[in-house]
Amino acid sequence: MAGATKKYLGGGRILPPRVRGDMSAAELVDGVFSAYNAARLREGARLFARKMLAPETTVAVSLTGALTPGGYGISCLVPLIEAGFVDWIVSTGANLYHDMHYGLGMHLHHGSPFVSDVELRQAGVIRIYDIFFEYDVLLDTDAFVREVIAAPEFGRPMSSAEFHHRLGGYVAEREKLLSTEGHSLIAACHRAGVPVYTSSPGDSSIGMNVAAMALTGSKLVIDPNLDVNETAAIVYAAKREGGKSGVLILGGGSPKNFVLQTEPQIQEVLGLAEKGHDYFLQITDARADTGGLSGATPSEAVSWGKIDPEQLPSAVVVYTDSTIALPLLAAYALANREPRPLKRLYDRRDALLARLRDDYVARLGTKA
């Protein structure tokens, strides 16, 4: 084979095994996902299991789209958290709100997207595409949130991580009473010490209830400054301690930017030497050519300092629905990696933030 030809034909031969009824999900991904976006999913699964889940890597996950109401918190995210495969999270508030339905023992049902929404409204039924539940599920969850945040411990400003940790503790206690333990993502994060941030605290029913309580004197405020600095401190410490930073992005939107902007915060704003996240894996159905962040590629992120250019080969984008990819990705990781010790980053937030602050202040002093 000529040198030029050999250069392009060095990949393995495409000759997949016949599909069998007893094949595991991991076997399907490795053996049968041979081309197109199936092959990208195979590359992403291998990146996640072989590199991102190395002991020295701190793994962030961003969540958009209605994953938790569809049950993907219970089926996929909670097992990954309990295995130590997720170290910190940035989520939409909606995912955290609908997640609580499960921990509180409420019922969501399979439905059809091809029904009259006028009839559903008249029947008191809420629809999220093909998920149905009673309107009272919202009212009862709202009442739970308001009852919890009326407690004295919530009577002050705090980061969204602290807020969700404290709220998750109450959901975890309710899980024990209802024998629903393991159903709630926010409760699992509380138990595992996984900090959970939301990039738009007011943009969900949780934020709406916080705002409502403010009308009657509640002093609770979700402080975005703390969120920006705490998330940057997590990434900064991971790199300064000789480790690496990996991001698993499910969807796009504001949580994607929030998890990635940690690097520009460190480099551009604070002026501290850094190169960017080491590993990037995104599941998305958004196109890059529309200019939206949800479809922005890892190579574009390099220009912002979000991704280490030397690590660009360790960046994979899978163009598919997260509800298809996430179960396969989770199954592959759990089949190919032993559980990792929990990093419990929530418990270390103050120390990590102090380190970032000290280095920033020292830089300012040197510059002066």
Q: Residues 53-81: pLDDT tens digits? A: 999 999 999 999 999 999 999 999 999 99
The label of the residue with tokens 């738009």 reads 200
Name the pLDDT band for 20 (thresholds 50, 70, 90): very high
State yes or no: is 306 an active-site residue.
yes
| CA dist., res. 77 & res. 66, Å (int) | 13
pLDDT digits (tens, 9 = 90+) for 128-140: 999 999 999 999 9
Average pLDDT, the chain: 92
pLDDT score recorded for residue 5: 81
The DSSP call for residue 173 is H
- Which of 8-22, 120-134, 327-341 is least confident? 8-22
Q: If we measure between CA atoms, which residue out of 196, 350, 186 comes closest to residue 258?
A: 196
- When pLDDT is averaged across residues 338-346 and rounded to a whole number, the result is 98
- When pLDDT is averaged across residues 251-271 and rounded to a whole number, the result is 93
Query: What does the domain layout of the chain look like in residue ranges?
Result: 34-367
Beta carbons of 160 and 85 less than 8 angstroms apart: no
- Going by their DSSP bridges, the two strands 221-222 and 196-197 should be labelled as unpaired
pLDDT digits (tens, 9 = 90+) for 142-180: 999 999 999 999 999 999 999 999 999 999 999 999 999
| CA dist., res. 141 & res. 68, Å (int) | 15
Token pair, residue 198, equals 């939301």
Residue 227 pLDDT greater than 80, yes or no: yes
Name the pLDDT band for 365 (thresholds 50, 70, 90): confident
| CA dist., res. 116 & res. 113, Å (int) | 9
| CA dist., res. 97 & res. 210, Å (int) | 12
Identify the active-site residue in 275, 306, 343, 367: 306
pLDDT score recorded for residue 206: 97
- When pLDDT is averaged across residues 303-309 and rounded to a whole number, the result is 64
The yes or no reply on domain 34-367 and CATH 3.40.910.10 is yes
- When pLDDT is averaged across residues 103-112 and rounded to a whole number, the result is 97
Q: Exposed, middle or buried: residue 358 (CB in 10 Å: 0-12, 13-18, 19+)?
A: exposed
- When pLDDT is averaged across residues 34-42 and rounded to a whole number, the result is 94
pLDDT score recorded for residue 368: 45
Which helix (H) or strand (E) segment holds residue 257: the answer is helix 253-260
